[in-house]
C-alpha cells in the first residue's frame, strides 16, 4: 500500500482578493461584504492566510489570546520566521506573562480616573483651536485644520515631549501601521525615512527627553517602583508615540465626516452634547480607523467551524465586524441613537486599545467646542482618502460651517 | 438582530463545577460559566470576590491556570473562628450551586524580575502558586519557601513536587520554627520577594527585608475585609441625578442595562469591568464594586463605579447620569 503524503486540505472557502491593494484601500466595503458572505473563515490565497470578517469570529479571535497570541506579530509578517523591523512592542506584540506588567502600568496611567485632570485643559484648548479655525472663514479642510492639529497639540504635551520634532510623529505612525501589511508600495514609500524616524522616536523615549509631569514620566516612575524594568520603560513610552497619534487623528476625521454627512445626527448632538462620546464610538464603529489586525494560530485552532493550522496568520477585519448585519441593525447607518457598545474598533480582550479613553477625551473636546459655535456643517468639496495598510484615513476632508 | 451578540454579562454568576478537599481544612473550588463560555482574564496575584448565597462576600486568590479560559480555581481554608464565609464554602457549597463572582482584581501583581523569592504561609500559597508557574515559564531564577503547621495541612504539595529543590517545604511539626532571616540571607540585586500568609509571617519578613532596597518586598495580607453591609441580593434603586428618574435594578440585570432601559444609554465596551468605558460618577450610596479596575483606595472612595458589573451595598445609589 502506498500512502501519498498530501498537503492538508484547506477547509475554508478561498478567495483571491488583495485586502491591501489600492482599489480596496480606497473603498474596502465591497470586499468586506464579500468576505463576510463567503463564510465565517476565508482562506486568502494570495497571502496564504486566513481571514475573518464576521463579528462573532473577529470577537472570538481577538479575545482568545491563548490560542491566537500576538507575539508572532500582529501584522502579516510572522515573527516565528521573520525578523521584525523594530524591537517588538511590549504591549501589542507580546503575550502574557510578558504583556502583563507593561499593560498594567499603562492602563493605570491612561485610565479614565487619571485623565480627569486633563479634561478641563483639553476642553479649553479645543475651544481656542476651534475659534482660531473659524476666524479664518467658514470653509476649511478638517484634516489639515482640526483632526491632525488637535491631537498634535494636546497629546505630545500630555506625554511630556519637548516641542522639537513633533512633525515626525505622524509619518512614523503612518509607517508603523503600513508595516503591518505586506511589503507593498506603501511600505516602500516609508522606508527611506524609517531609520531617521525610528531613531528620533527612540531618542524621545528616554527619561531625560521627557518633562517630569507627563505620561512618559509616569511610566519611568513605574519603573522606579519596580513595576516594569528600566529596559521596558522606553519601549512602553514608544507604544504611546506609535499608537496614540495617527489613530486619534483618523478617529476625529471619521466622526466629523459622519456628522457632516448626517445633519440630523449633528442636531441631536448639538441638543445634547453629552452624546459626543457616543458619536465618537459610533464613528469608530462605522469607519474603524484601525481596520485590521493579525493574530497567529499557536496550534491547530478551531475557529468558525474551520481548523486554522498551527503557525498560520489570521487577518481580523475589525471594520467588517463593525458593520456585520448579523450583529448590527442597519450597520451602514451612522446613528447616534444606536448603542455602539461592543464594537471592536478598539479591539477587544487583553490587547484592547489602552489609549481609548485618551482618544475619546480628545474627540469629546473637539465636538463640544464645535457644538457651541456651529449650527450645521456639510462636506464642501471632494474628499480624498489616505491609503494605509492598516488605517482608514482621510487626506482631505473639506467642510463648510454655518455658525450659530 | 441579537443572535450573535456577545454575552451580556449581567450579574456574573458562576457555577461550582468541582470541589475537592486538597489538604486538612483546605478545599478547592472550580468555577465556570453555566453556559461554558470564556471567563474574564486574570494575572497571577489576582483574587475574585465570591458573593455567597448567605449574602457574605469573600475574597479568594485565583490559583488555577490562566491558559484555561473556561474555569477558575480558588483554595479556601476553613477558618473555625471566622464569620461564616469559609464554613459556608466548606459545608454548604456543592458542585452545581451558583455563586456571584466579582473581579478578578489584582492588588498583588507580579512585577518583572530576574530573580524571585516566594514565601508562602499556609493558605497564602494560593496567590503564589500561579506566580511560581509563571516565574518558571519565564526562566527566572526563583525559590519558594512554603511554611505550614504540618504537611497534612499544606495544599498543592503534589503540584509543587516537580519543581524539585526550588521549593523548600518547612512543616513546623517536623522541623520546628524557621530562621527566616537566615533563610533569606542577602538576596542578589534585583530580587523581588513575594510573600502571602498570616500577619506574623509578613511582619517577620518585613523586619528581615528592612535593609533591602525599597520595593523589594511585596506582600498580600489576609485580613477579613470589613464590609459595612453584606452584598445585596435584593433589588435596589438607582436614581439618575440629571434626569431625576429612578430605576429599580433587579438581581438579573446589570445597572448598565437597568439605566439603559430607562432611556439613558451609557457607553460600554467589555461589559466585564475591565476596560473602564462605562465609568459612572456616584453621588450618594455605596457601590458594591465588582470590577477589575479600581484599587482598594479608589474602591473605598466610592465616587465612581463601573456599572456593567458593579452593584450596590445600599438600598439606593445616586448616579451622575
Ligand atoms: S464596559 Fe468595560 S468596564 Fe464596564
Beta carbon of B270 within 6 Å of any ligand 1 atom? yes
Beta carbon of B12 within 6 Å of any ligand 1 atom? no
Nearest chain A residue (CA) to B306: A112
Nearest to A63 among B38, B66, B138 (CB): B38
Beta carbon of B294 within 6 Å of any ligand 1 atom? no
Distance from CA of B92 to the nearest CA of A (A): 34
Classify residue B62 by its DSSP letter. B
Q: Using CA of residue B183, residue B188, residue B189, residue B192, what is the dihedral sign?
A: negative
Distance from CA of A266 to the nearest CA of B (A): 18
Q: Which CATH number fits domain B11-105: 3.30.390.50, 3.40.50.1240, 2.40.30.10, 3.40.50.720?
A: 2.40.30.10
Say how many Å lie between the CA of residue B293 and the centre of ligand 1: 9
Contacts of B270 in chain A (CB under 8 A): 348, 352
ipTM of the complex: 0.92
Cis before A300? omega within 30: no
The domain limits of chain A are 3-403
CATH 3.90.1170.50 fits B236-319, yes or no: no
Nearest chain B residue (CA) to A285: B269
Neighbouring residues of A23: CB distance < 8 A, sequence distance ≥ 6:
none
Distance from CA of B44 to the nearest CA of A (A): 9
- For strands B217-221 and B191-197, give the pairing: parallel
Q: Which of B121, B128, B74 is nearest to B101 (CA)?
A: B74
* CATH, range A3-403: 1.10.630.10
Residue with cell 492602563: A107
Classify residue B55 by its DSSP letter. S
Domain(s) labelled CATH 3.10.20.30 in chain B stretch across 236-319
Confirm if B232 and B313 have CB atoms less than 8 A apart. Answer: yes
Confirm if B39 and B272 have CB atoms less than 8 A apart. Answer: no
Task: Tell me the pLDDT tens digit for each residue of B269-317.
Answer: 999 999 999 999 999 999 999 998 998 888 889 999 999 999 999 999 9
Q: Which of A33, A13, A31 is nearest to A21 (CA)?
A: A31
Residue with cell 512592542: A89
Task: Tell me the pLDDT tens digit for each residue of B237-268.
Answer: 999 999 899 999 998 899 999 999 988 989 99
- For strands A306-308 and A42-44, give the pairing: unpaired
CA distances A230 to A63, A205, A207, A355, B286, Å, are 29, 12, 10, 22, 40
Domain(s) labelled CATH 3.40.50.80 in chain B stretch across 115-221
Confirm if A125 and A364 have CB atoms less than 8 A apart. Answer: no
Q: What's the rounded mean pLDDT across residues B111-120?
A: 97
Domain(s) labelled CATH 2.40.30.10 in chain B stretch across 11-105
- Phi, psi (degrees; rounded to nearest 5) at B280: -135, 135
Confirm if A58 and A68 have CB atoms less than 8 A apart. Answer: no
| Integer Cα distance of B58 and B233 in angstroms | 15
Classify residue B35 by its DSSP letter. T
Give the 3-state DSSP-derived string for chain A, with helices as H, strands as E and coil as C. CCCCCCCCCCCCCEECCCCCCHHHHHCCHHHHHHHHHHCCCEEECCCCEEEECCHHHHHHHHHCCCCCCCCCCCCCCCCCCCCCCCCCCCCCCCCCCCCHHHHHHHHHHCCHHHHHHHHHHHHHHHHHHHHHHHHCCCEEEHHHHHHCCHHHHHHHHHHCECCCCHHHHHHHHHHHHHCCCCCCHHHHHHHHHHHHHHHHHHHHCCHHHECCCCHHHHHHHHHHCCCCCCCHHHHHHHHHHHHCCHHHHHHHHHHHHHHHHCHHHHHHHHHCHHHHHHHHHHHHHHHCCECEEEEECCCCEEECCEEECCCCEEEEEHHHHCCCCCCCCCCCCCCCCCCCCCCCECECHHHCCCCHHHHHHHHHHHHHHHHHHEEEEEECCCCEEEECCCEEEEEECEEEEEEC
| pLDDT tens series, chain A, 404 aa | 445 555 567 889 999 999 999 999 999 999 999 999 999 999 999 999 999 999 999 999 999 999 999 999 999 999 999 999 888 999 999 999 999 999 999 999 999 989 999 999 999 999 999 999 999 999 999 999 999 999 999 999 999 999 999 999 999 999 999 999 999 999 999 999 999 999 999 999 999 999 999 999 999 999 999 999 999 999 999 999 999 999 999 999 999 999 999 999 999 999 999 999 999 999 999 999 999 999 999 999 999 999 999 999 999 999 999 999 999 999 999 999 999 999 999 999 999 999 999 999 999 999 999 999 999 999 999 999 999 999 999 999 999 999 99
Q: Which of B228, B309, B236, B242 is nearest to B274 (CA)?
A: B309
Cβ within 8 Å of A, B 46-65: none
Task: Tell me the pLDDT tens digit for each residue of A175-202.
Answer: 999 999 999 999 999 999 999 999 999 9
Q: What's the rounded mean pLDDT across residues B184-208?
A: 93
Residue with cell 491556570: B65
| Integer Cα distance of A256 and A399 in angstroms | 9
> Percent of chain B beyond pLDDT 90?
74
Is the CB of A65 less than 8 angstroms away from the CB of B265? no
Contacts of B43 in chain A (CB under 8 A): 96-97, 100, 104
Is the CB of A100 less than 8 angstroms away from the CB of B268? no
State the distance between the two ends of chain A, measured CA to CA, in whole angstroms: 85
Classify residue B189 by its DSSP letter. T
Beta carbon of B278 within 6 Å of any ligand 1 atom? yes
The residue of B3, B7, B43 whose CB has the most chain A CBs within 10 angstroms, and thus the best one to mutate to test that interface, is B43
CATH 2.60.40.1220 fits B115-221, yes or no: no
| Integer Cα distance of A228 and A344 in angstroms | 28
Is the CB of A54 less than 8 angstroms away from the CB of B268? no
Pocket residue to mutate for ligand 1, from B104, B277, B292, B298, most atoms within 8 A of Cβ: B277
Amino acid at each position: 500500500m502506498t500512502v501519498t503524503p498530501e498537503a492538508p486540505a484547506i477547509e475554508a472557502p478561498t478567495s483571491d482578493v488583495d485586502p491591501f491593494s489600492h482599489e480596496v484601500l480606497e473603498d474596502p466595503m465591497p470586499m468586506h461584504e464579500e468576505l463576510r458572505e463567503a463564510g465565517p473563515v476565508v482562506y486568502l490565497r494570495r497571502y496564504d492566510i486566513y481571514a475573518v470578517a464576521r463579528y462573532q469570529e473577529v470577537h472570538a479571535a481577538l479575545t482568545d489570546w491563548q490560542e491566537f497570541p500576538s507575539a508572532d506579530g500582529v501584522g502579516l509578517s510572522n515573527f516565528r520566521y521573520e525578523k521584525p523591523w523594530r524591537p517588538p512592542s511590549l504591549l501589542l506584540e507580546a503575550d502574557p506573562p510578558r504583556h502583563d506588567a507593561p499593560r498594567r502600568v499603562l492602563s493605570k496611567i491612561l485610565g479614565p480616573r487619571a485623565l480627569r485632570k486633563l479634561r478641563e485643559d483639553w476642553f479649553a484648548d479645543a475651544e481656542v483651536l476651534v475659534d482660531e479655525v473659524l476666524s479664518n472663514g467658514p470653509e476649511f479642510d478638517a484634516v489639515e485644520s482640526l483632526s491632525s492639529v488637535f491631537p498634535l497639540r494636546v497629546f505630545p504635551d500630555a506625554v511630556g515631549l519637548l516641542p522639537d520634532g513633533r512633525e515626525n510623529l505622524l509619518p512614523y505612525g503612518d509607517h508603523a501601521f503600513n508595516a503591518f501589511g505586506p511589503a507593498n508600495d506603501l511600505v516602500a514609500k516609508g522606508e527611506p525615512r524609517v531609520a531617521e524616524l525610528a531613531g528620533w522616536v527612540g531618542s524621545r523615549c528616554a527619561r531625560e527627553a521627557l518633562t517630569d509631569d507627563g505620561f512618559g514620566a509616569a511610566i519611568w516612575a513605574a519603573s522606579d517602583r519596580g513595576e516594569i524594568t528600566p529596559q521596558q520603560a522606553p519601549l512602553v513610552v514608544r507604544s504611546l508615540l506609535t499608537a496614540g497619534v495617527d489613530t486619534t487623528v483618523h478617529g476625529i476625521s471619521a466622526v466629523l465626516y459622519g456628522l457632516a454627512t448626517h445633519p440630523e445626527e449633528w442636531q441631536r448632538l448639538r441638543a445634547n452634547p453629552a452624546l459626543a462620546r457616543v458619536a465618537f464610538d459610533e464613528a469608530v464603529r462605522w469607519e474603524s480607523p484601525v481596520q485590521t489586525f493579525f493574530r497567529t494560530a499557536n496550534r491547530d485552532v478551531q475557529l468558525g467551524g474551520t481548523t486554522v493550522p498551527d503557525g498560520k496568520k489570521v487577518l481580523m477585519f475589525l471594520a467588517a465586524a463593525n458593520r456585520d448585519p448579523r450583529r448590527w441593525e442597519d450597520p451602514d447607518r451612522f446613528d447616534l441613537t444606536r448603542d455602539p457598545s461592543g464594537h471592536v474598533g478598539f479591539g477587544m480582550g487583553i490587547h484592547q486599545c489602552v489609549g481609548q479613553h485618551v482618544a475619546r477625551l480628545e474627540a469629546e473636546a473637539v465636538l463640544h467646542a464645535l457644538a457651541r459655535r456651529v449650527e450645521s456643517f456639510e462636506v464642501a468639496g471632494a474628499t480624498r482618502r489616505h491609503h494605509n495598510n492598516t488605517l482608514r484615513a482621510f487626506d482631505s476632508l473639506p467642510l463648510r460651517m454655518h455658525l450659530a | 438582530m441579537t443572535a450573535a451578540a456577545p454575552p451580556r454579562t449581567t450579574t456574573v454568576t458562576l457555577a461550582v463545577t468541582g470541589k475537592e478537599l486538597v489538604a486538612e481544612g483546605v478545599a478547592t473550588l472550580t468555577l465556570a460559566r453555566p453556559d461554558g463560555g470564556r471567563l474574564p482574564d486574570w494575572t497571577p496575584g489576582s483574587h475574585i470576590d465570591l458573593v455567597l448565597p448567605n449574602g457574605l462576600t469573600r475574597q479568594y486568590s485565583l490559583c488555577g491556570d490562566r491558559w484555561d479560559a473556561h474555569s477558575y480555581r480558588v483554595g479556601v481554608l476553613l477558618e473555625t473562628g471566622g464569620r461564616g464565609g469559609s464554613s459556608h464554602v466548606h459545608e454548604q457549597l456543592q458542585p452545581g450551586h451558583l455563586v456571584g463572582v466579582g473581579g478578578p482584581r489584582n492588588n498583588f501583581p507580579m512585577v518583572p524580575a530576574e530573580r524571585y523569592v516566594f514565601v508562602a504561609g499556609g493558605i497564602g500559597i494560593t496567590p503564589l502558586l500561579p506566580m511560581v508557574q509563571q516565574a518558571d515559564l519565564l526562566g527566572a531564577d526563583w525559590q519558594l519557601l512554603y511554611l505550614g503547621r504540618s504537611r497534612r495541612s499544606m495544599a498543592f504539595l503534589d503540584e509543587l513536587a516537580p519543581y524539585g529543590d526550588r521549593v523548600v517545604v518547612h512543616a513546623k511539626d517536623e522541623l520546628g520554627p524557621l530562621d527566616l532571616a537566615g533563610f533569606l540571607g542577602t538576596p542578589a540585586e534585583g530580587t523581588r520577594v513575594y510573600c502571602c500568609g498570616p500577619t506574623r509571617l509578613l511582619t517577620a519578613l518585613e523586619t528581615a527585608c528592612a535593609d533591602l532596597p525599597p520595593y523589594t518586598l511585596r506582600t498580600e495580607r489576609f485580613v477579613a475585609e470589613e464590609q459595612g453591609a453584606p452584598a445585596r441580593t435584593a433589588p435596589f434603586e438607582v436614581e439618575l441625578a440629571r434626569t431625576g428618574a429612578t430605576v429599580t435594578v433587579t438581581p438579573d440585570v446589570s445597572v448598565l442595562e437597568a439605566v439603559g432601559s430607562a432611556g439613558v444609554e451609557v457607553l460600554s465596551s467589555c461589559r466585564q469591568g475591565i476596560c473602564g468605558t462605562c465609568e459612572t460618577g456616584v453621588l450618594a450610596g455605596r457601590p458594591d464594586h465588582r470590577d477589575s479596575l479600581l484599587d482598594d483606595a479608589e474602591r473605598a472612595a466610592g465616587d465612581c463605579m463601573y456599572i456593567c458589573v458593579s452593584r450596590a451595598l445600599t438600598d439606593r445609589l445616586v448616579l451622575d447620569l
